[in-house]
Amino acid sequence: MPMADRYRVEYRAGIRRIEVLTGDGEIVVRAPRGTPEEQIRAAVGEHNHSAGLFRAGGRLIPYSVEFRPRCRTVTVGVGDGALVVRAPPGTNRHEIDAALRTHEARILRALAPRRGEESAALLVGGMTIPYVIAYRSRAVNLTLRVLPDNTVRVTAPPGISTDRVRSFVESHAAYIHERIAAPERTPALPVEYADGGVLLLSGKTVTIRAEERSGPSLEGDLLLVPDDRPVEKTVSAYLRAATLARANRSLPQYAGAFGVAVPPVEVRFMKTFWGRCHPDPKIVFNERCAMLPPDLIDYVVAHELCHILHPHHQPSFYDALRAVMQDADARKERLKNYHPCWAKGT
C-alpha cells in the first residue's frame, strides 16, 4: 500500500483548512467537519512534509518545517510550546527525523509543562527589580502584580516561554517603576523568625531575642524566646495564641451585633488572607493577625462574621458591616498598610 494511502483523519470544528502532519510512518490529517474525502486525499498527495509529528516520551508532538536557502544544517528550535525545524531546501524526511531524534531529550524538557515558581530579575530605571514567575495550570493569560516588598509577581500559563514572560514584564516597565518609585511608598520588609529578627506585634516593631528561659514573653520591644527550641516554631505558636486571645475578646461582641452564634475558630498561617469564613460556619484567622493593631484585628473579626450573613463582597455586605462598625471603611484602608507575608508599619 502506498504511503499516501495510509492516513488517519481527525475532523475538528475549530479549524478552517486541511492540515497534514507526518511522522514515524504515520500521517494524520486534521480537517474541518464535512470535508469531502477527495479533498483530503488530494491534500495528502500534495503534502511536501512542511509539517509532521514526532513521537517522543510516549506522545506525538506536532512540528513545522521551514526550508531556508541559507541553512546549511538541520536545526531544531522550541519556543512557546511550538517545535520548529529549520532545514536547507531539499532536505528529506529521514534527515529531519534524525535531527529530531538527536534532540529528543532537549525537546521533552523544553515542552514539559512548567510548574511551581521561577525567580528572575529586571533592570528598570537603573534599579534591579526581582520578579517571580508563578506557573498556574488554570492561567490563560499573563498577569502582573507589584507586591508590598517591591517584588513583581507574574502569573503565567505552564506552556509559555521565559522569553515571552520577560518581554511581558519589560512592556510593563513604566508601570513597575511608577509604583516602586512613588514617594509615599515604603517597601515592606520580610518577616524573619530568627534570633535578632524584627517583626510587628500589635502594630509595633519588636525584636526577637533568644536566651535561656522556659517560655516566650513580650518585654518592652523585645520578644524573648527560649534558645533551646526552634525560634520559628516558638514565634509562630506565640502569634497563634495572641491572635486567638484577641479574637476571642471580640467575637462575642460582634457576633451579638450581627445576631449570629459564635462559630468555631481556628488559627493558622495563611499566605494571602487575614481571615476566611467557611460555610460550616467556621472562621479561620491568620496567625499574623497578632501583628496588627488591636482595632484592625477587631475589623478582621467583624468582617469574617459578616460573611456568615453575606457570603460575598457586594454592597449589602459592606452596609451590614458599617451598621455594626461605623468606621469600617477607614479601618479597611488602614489594613492595606499591612500584608500577611510582610511586616509593614503605618
Q: Residue 305: its pLDDT value, please?
A: 97
Query: How far is residue 301's CA from residue 331's CA, in Å, rounded to a whole number?
Result: 12
Between strands 204-211 and 222-226, the pairing is parallel
pLDDT band (50, 70, 90) for residue 228: very high
pTM of this structure = 0.58
Collapsing DSSP to helix, strand or coil, 215 comes out as coil
Lowest mean pLDDT across 22-26, 87-91, 154-158, 254-258: 22-26
Give the residue with greater pLDDT, 159 vs 134.
134
Q: What is the pLDDT of residues 67-112, one digit of tens each?
A: 777 888 899 987 666 788 888 877 777 888 899 989 888 887 777 7
Query: How far is residue 86's CA from residue 28's CA, in Å, rounded to a whole number?
Result: 21
**Please, are residues 135 and 157 in contact by the beta-carbon 8 Å criterion?**
yes
The side-by-side arrangement of strands in the sheet containing 217-219 is 198-201, 204-211, 222-226, 217-219
DSSP state of 223: E
Query: Which is it for the CA torsion 200, 204, 209, 213, positive or negative?
Result: negative
Q: What is the pLDDT of residues 310-326, one digit of tens each?
A: 999 999 999 999 999 99
Residue 155 has pLDDT above 80, yes or no: yes
Q: Residue 252: its pLDDT value, please?
A: 97
Q: Residue 163: its pLDDT value, please?
A: 80
Residue 43 has pLDDT above 90, yes or no: no
Residue 3 has pLDDT above 60, yes or no: no
Output b/e per residue, 241-254; b: 16+ Cβ within 10 A.
ebbbebbeebbeeb
